[in-house]
């Protein structure tokens, strides 16, 4: 059965390639207005070990600004336009930092990554596409000293209501809403602001949503007044290894390990929910980094069976590692738990 799945994926990849060739031929034969390529930078920040920049080269998208009064059809068109992008593979990229120039090329999907293992006292990077006349400055979120605390948070049903436990609700929320109508989890943004301590403690957001929705998420974060931070998303698409997206647990665990590598001398707070695999992923992180994890907080959004299983699992964890793994239903309950272990000051 596994071998059959592999052959099916390879067959679909061949069909996808043929459709791409056909589309390229049609685009060449039928003249149309071409949009310029741009470098879409998703992450740009400093950490104690250097500088990290991650982005994608694709054709410029012209999105209609959202409004709370927008109807379902307009929201759907806007959301669909974020999914259908044209990537520029093997594009030549220049990254300018503090008078130094570095060269990169985008991969087959248009992505590019820049690691610089040296701290440079600058507050921005300049990304250029010399072949297309594109140049833009991107601010660097600065965490070049070791912070006392690092916050890692899930997004769906932890920061904003998605309804991941119900496929129908999730699709309706995702496809027919916009960044101004997405319902936020009450009070969580204020808790993260307090943990962020005015920018002293960095925040990283992890979601299995595709990079196509990065700017949508950032608009939601701005609306919620969440601190800007590192973003970990996924590249959706057909590959020989999987149909649409890599596994949620593998993606999230790799992200946690990467952040720990950047901030090896900090303590960590992990926020998530029980709609997917956050409780198990965070429990694994605690076992691997027992001296670094200061708190795990899981929001109950599933049924009582799941909630009871997680509560029992975390009770066993707390016996072994001390009281630091919690489940909660409301944000006030989470605040009480954080005050109990000293993550937030006592009282309001």
Q: Of the candidates 39, 95, 47, 40, which has an alpha carbon nearest to the alpha carbon of residue 216?
A: 40
User: Do 125 and 154 fall within a single domain?
Assistant: no
User: Do 202 and 307 fall within a single domain?
Assistant: yes
Which of 109, 124, 142 is a domain's end point? 142
User: Do 73 and 204 fall within a single domain?
Assistant: no
12 within some domain? no
212 within some domain? yes
Q: Which domain holds residue 167?
A: 149-340
Q: Label residue 197 left, alpha or beta by phi (over 0 means left) and psi (-120 to 50 means alpha).
A: left
345 within some domain? no
pLDDT of 168: 45
pLDDT of 145: 78
346 within some domain? no
Provide the token pair at 235: 């590249």
Q: Of the candidates 43, 97, 90, which has an alpha carbon nearest to the alpha carbon of residue 230?
A: 43
Start-to-end CA span in the chain (Å):
57
User: Do 220 and 298 fall within a single domain?
Assistant: yes
User: Do 102 and 176 fall within a single domain?
Assistant: no
User: Do 207 and 120 fall within a single domain?
Assistant: no
48 within some domain? yes
**67: Cβ contacts below 8 Å, ≥ 6 apart:** 178, 180
- Total-model pTM: 0.82
Phi and psi dihedrals of 191, rounded to 5? Answer: -65, -45
User: Do 305 and 225 fall within a single domain?
Assistant: yes
pLDDT of 165: 47
User: Do 88 and 136 fall within a single domain?
Assistant: yes
* Separation between Cα atoms, residue 47 and residue 143, nearest integer Å: 5
294 within some domain? yes
In a structure prediction context, what are the per-residue pLDDT tens digits for the chain, which is 348 residues long?
A: 555 444 454 444 344 444 444 544 444 455 545 668 899 999 999 888 889 999 999 887 766 666 565 556 565 666 666 666 788 899 999 999 988 999 999 998 899 999 988 777 788 999 999 989 999 999 998 776 789 999 999 998 899 877 544 444 544 555 545 455 567 888 999 999 999 998 899 999 999 888 888 888 888 888 888 998 999 998 855 444 544 555 667 889 999 999 999 999 999 999 999 988 899 999 999 999 999 999 999 999 888 899 899 999 999 999 999 999 999 999 999 999 999 999 998 765
30 within some domain? no
User: Do 129 and 244 fall within a single domain?
Assistant: no
Which of 80, 111, 142 is a domain's end point? 142
User: Do 66 and 85 fall within a single domain?
Assistant: yes
Which of 142, 162, 189 is a domain's end point? 142
Question: What element of type H or E holds 249?
Answer: helix 248-262
Q: What is the CATH number of the domain that holds 167?
A: 3.40.50.1000
How many other CB atoms are there within 10 angstroms of residue 171's CB atom?
11
**9: Cβ contacts below 8 Å, ≥ 6 apart:** 238, 239, 240, 242, 243
265 within some domain? yes
User: Do 137 and 278 fall within a single domain?
Assistant: no
The number of domains in the chain is: 2
Q: What is the CATH number of the domain that holds 90?
A: 2.60.40
pLDDT of 3: 53
pLDDT of 121: 79
The sheet with strand 111-116 has its strands ordered as 111-116, 50-59, 37-47, 141-142
User: Do 126 and 71 fall within a single domain?
Assistant: yes
């Amino acid at each position: 059965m596994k071998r059959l799945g592999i052959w099916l994926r390879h067959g679909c990849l061949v069909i996808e390639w043929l459709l791409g060739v056909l589309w390229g031929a049609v685009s060449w034969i039928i003249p149309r207005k071409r949009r310029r390529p741009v470098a879409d930078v998703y992450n740009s920040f400093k950490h104690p070990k250097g500088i990290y920049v991650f982005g994608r080269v694709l054709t410029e998208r012209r999105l209609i600004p959202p409004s709370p009064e927008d109807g379902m059809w307009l929201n759907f068109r806007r959301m669909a336009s974020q999914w259908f992008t044209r990537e520029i593979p093997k594009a030549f990229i220049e990254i300018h930092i503090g008078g130094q120039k570095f060269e990169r090329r985008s991969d087959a999907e248009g992505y590019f990554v820049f690691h610089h293992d040296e701290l440079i006292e600058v507050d921005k990077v300049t990304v250029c596409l010399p072949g297309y006349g594109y140049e833009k400055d991107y601010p660097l979120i600065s965490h070049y000293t070791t912070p006392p605390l690092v916050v890692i948070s899930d997004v769906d049903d932890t920061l904003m209501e998605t309804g991941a436990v119900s496929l129908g609700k999730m699709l309706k929320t995702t496809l027919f809403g916009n960044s101004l109508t997405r319902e936020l989890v009450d009070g969580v943004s204020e808790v993260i602001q307090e943990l962020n301590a005015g920018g002293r403690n960095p925040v990283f957001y992890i979601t299995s949503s595709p990079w196509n929705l990065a700017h949508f998420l950032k608009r939601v974060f701005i609306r919620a007044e969440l601190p800007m931070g590192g973003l970990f998303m996924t590249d959706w698409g057909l590959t020989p290894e999987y149909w649409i997206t890599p596994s949620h647990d593998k993606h999230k665990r790799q992200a946690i390990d990467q952040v720990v590598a950047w901030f090896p001398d900090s303590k960590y707070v992990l926020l998530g929910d029980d709609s997917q695999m956050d409780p198990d992923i965070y429990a694994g992180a605690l076992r691997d980094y027992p001296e670094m994890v200061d708190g795990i907080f899981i929001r109950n959004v599933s049924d009582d069976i799941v909630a009871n299983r997680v509560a029992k699992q975390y009770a066993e964890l707390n016996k072994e590692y001390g009281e630091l793994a919690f489940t909660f239903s409301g944000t006030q309950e989470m605040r009480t738990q954080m005050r109990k272990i000293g993550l937030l000051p006592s009282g309001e």
